[in-house]
């Protein structure tokens, strides 16, 4: 699962810009880049920052070894002087950002990368690749988590996406509020709890459903989860309780009218004395389907395709823009705000920014405040960016559980309308100072 280097997880123009800047003598100008999005996906009320820990790993692993340099030389991507510079590349700048699990809004400076132009510009693509993917998954997971209302959530989308993306998706889903994953690589790499018992193929393998259930219970114990919709659900539930007894852990329903079937199965389990047996539902769920099952006697949801594709929004449209740079390579040269002039929704605001979230009198967040000047006294202790990398060294690595807990706490501090599934504008306005 480990990638020896992240240095080629980039676009060619990052390297050709570097070559031109080295020749022009501007490569070492002190620069500030910021990651932000100009808008949330249509109808979404908030975004979720995820992938920060993976970005830190990627920055540490951004090294041009001889094999990579040989590839660049063979393709003629850059000249020999640039290859010599790349051979010594180490990011020695600073990175600030919203801590993983935080929420964000249009214009929020989700991450700020500071250093020379040369060392910062190379990181653009890999940072955006990680943050756009993981934050999209985490936002979908958060919506599903809110809709689930405290019921269990299982990430099970590995077969619906690229094998490495599946691991990142499981991690992002955990940040967004999911409890476990079916993907063992995600469990191994990130310590996420893993779950899983059997599929329809196991039932079809055996001559009878009873034989399949008996084999599973004998192997995994009475607390296992039996899949009961291969043939006749009611008959399968009777057989499951007959074999495992009232200690049966759970039954899983993967098809049909889940609302109706869940009520029938719950009633049947209770009549058979299996009052503690849980009901797990799967079958192409998304946040809307989960919300529609709020009145059903369901204990946990398993979600795959819609989760790992961001529930219709597989990217966050984050961008990485130069917002300030020095006029010269003198280390003491002051930073000057820069921004391109653009129309059609692609405007940017120059200047090195801070961000804070202002609460109302009840302590509920009421605005995202972004500024380039002095931080007002009333917002000094509400600032959102924390230092992640200092002088090239990671200073804010944390357990994944911390990001997950942070997100649930931050989401709880937003206005109640944040978790409504109906389409609407961002739940907080962004104010610029």
In order of start, what are the domains of the chain with their CATH numbers?
Answer: 12-136+313-432 (3.20.140.10), 197-298 (3.20.20.70)
Measured CA to CA, the distance from residue 255 to residue 413 in angstroms comes to 36
Q: Is there a contact between 283 and 254 (Cβ–Cβ < 8 Å)?
A: yes
67-95: burial string, b at 16+ Cβ within 10 Å, e else:
ebbeebeeeeebeeebbebbeeeebebbb
Nearest to 318 by CA among 14, 41, 36: 36
Read off the pTM: 0.95
Q: How far is CA 186 from the centre of its chain?
A: 13
| pLDDT of res. 346 | 75
Q: How many residues does the chain have?
A: 433
Q: Is there a contact between 313 and 135 (Cβ–Cβ < 8 Å)?
A: no
Coil, strand, or helix at residue 319?
A: strand
| pLDDT of res. 341 | 84
Strands (E), 37-165: 47-48, 94-97, 103-104, 111-116, 152-155
Measured CA to CA, the distance from residue 352 to residue 350 in angstroms comes to 7
Residues 6+ apart with CB under 8 A from 404: 101, 174, 175, 176, 177
Q: Is there a contact between 60 and 7 (Cβ–Cβ < 8 Å)?
A: no
Residues 6+ apart with CB under 8 A from 291: 147, 421
Q: How far is CA 87 from the centre of its chain?
A: 32
| pLDDT of res. 412 | 97
Q: Is there a contact between 185 and 1 (Cβ–Cβ < 8 Å)?
A: yes
Measured CA to CA, the distance from residue 395 to residue 382 in angstroms comes to 21
Measured CA to CA, the distance from residue 413 to residue 375 in angstroms comes to 22
Strands (E), 254-407: 278-281, 300-303, 319-326, 335-337, 354-359, 365-371, 386-390, 393-394
Q: Which pair of structure tokens corresponds to residue 87?
A: 């051979």
Q: Is 16 exposed, middle or buried (0-12, 13-18, 19+ CB in 10 A)?
A: middle
Phi, psi of 161 (to 5 degrees): -155, 175
**Mean per-residue pLDDT pooled into runs of 10, the chain (433 residues):** 80 98 98 97 95 97 96 98 98 98 98 98 98 98 98 97 97 98 97 97 98 98 98 98 98 97 98 98 96 97 98 96 97 94 78 97 97 94 97 97 98 96 93 95
Residues 6+ apart with CB under 8 A from 382: 356, 357, 358, 359
Strands (E), 247-364: 250-253, 278-281, 300-303, 319-326, 335-337, 354-359
């Amino acid at each position: 699962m480990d990638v020896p280097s992240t240095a080629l997880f980039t676009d060619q123009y990052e390297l050709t810009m570097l070559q031109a800047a080295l020749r022009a003598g501007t490569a070492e100008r002190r620069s500030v880049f910021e990651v932000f999005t100009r808008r949330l996906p249509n109808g979404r009320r908030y975004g979720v920052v995820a992938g920060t820990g993976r970005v830190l790993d990627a920055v540490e692993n951004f090294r041009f070894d001889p094999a990579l340099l040989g590839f660049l030389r063979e393709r003629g991507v850059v000249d020999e002087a640039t290859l010599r510079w790349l051979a010594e590349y180490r990011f020695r700048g600073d990175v600030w950002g919203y801590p993983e699990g935080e929420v964000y809004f249009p214009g929020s400076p989700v991450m700020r990368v500071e250093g020379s132009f040369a060392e910062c510009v190379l990181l653009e693509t890999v940072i955006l690749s990680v943050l756009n993917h993981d934050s999209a998954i985490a936002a979908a997971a958060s919506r599903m988590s809110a809709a689930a209302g405290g019921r269990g959530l299982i990430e099970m989308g590995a077969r619906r996406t690229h094998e490495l993306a599946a691991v990142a998706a499981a991690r992002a889903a955990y940040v967004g509020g999911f409890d476990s994953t079916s993907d063992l690589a995600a469990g191994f790499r990130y310590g996420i709890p893993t779950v899983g018992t059997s599929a329809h193929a196991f039932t079809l393998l055996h001559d009878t459903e009873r034989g399949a259930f008996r084999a599973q219970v004998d192997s995994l114990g009475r607390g296992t989860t039996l899949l009961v919709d291969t043939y006749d659900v009611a008959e399968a539930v009777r057989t499951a309780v007959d074999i495992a007894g009232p200690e049966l852990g759970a039954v899983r329903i993967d098809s049909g009218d889940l609302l109706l079937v869940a009520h029938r199965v719950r009633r049947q389990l209770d009549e058979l004395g299996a009052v503690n047996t849980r009901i797990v539902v799967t079958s192409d769920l998304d946040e809307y389907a989960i919300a529609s099952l709020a009145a059903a006697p369901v204990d946990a949801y398993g979600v795959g395709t819609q989760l790992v594709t961001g529930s219709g929004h597989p990217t966050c449209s984050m961008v990485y823009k130069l917002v300030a740079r020095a006029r010269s390579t003198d280390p003491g040269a002051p930073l000057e705000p820069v921004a391109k002039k653009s129309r059609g929704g692609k405007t940017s605001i120059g200047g090195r920014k801070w961000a804070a979230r202002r609460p109302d009198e009840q302590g509920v967040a009421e605005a995202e405040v972004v500024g380039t000047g002095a931080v007002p006294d009333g917002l000094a202790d509400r600032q959102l960016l924390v230092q992640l990398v200092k002088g090239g060294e990671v200073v804010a690595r944390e357990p994944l559980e911390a990001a997950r807990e942070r997100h649930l706490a931050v989401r709880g501090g937003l206005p109640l309308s944040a978790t409504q599934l109906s389409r609407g504008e961002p739940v907080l306005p962004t104010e610029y100072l």
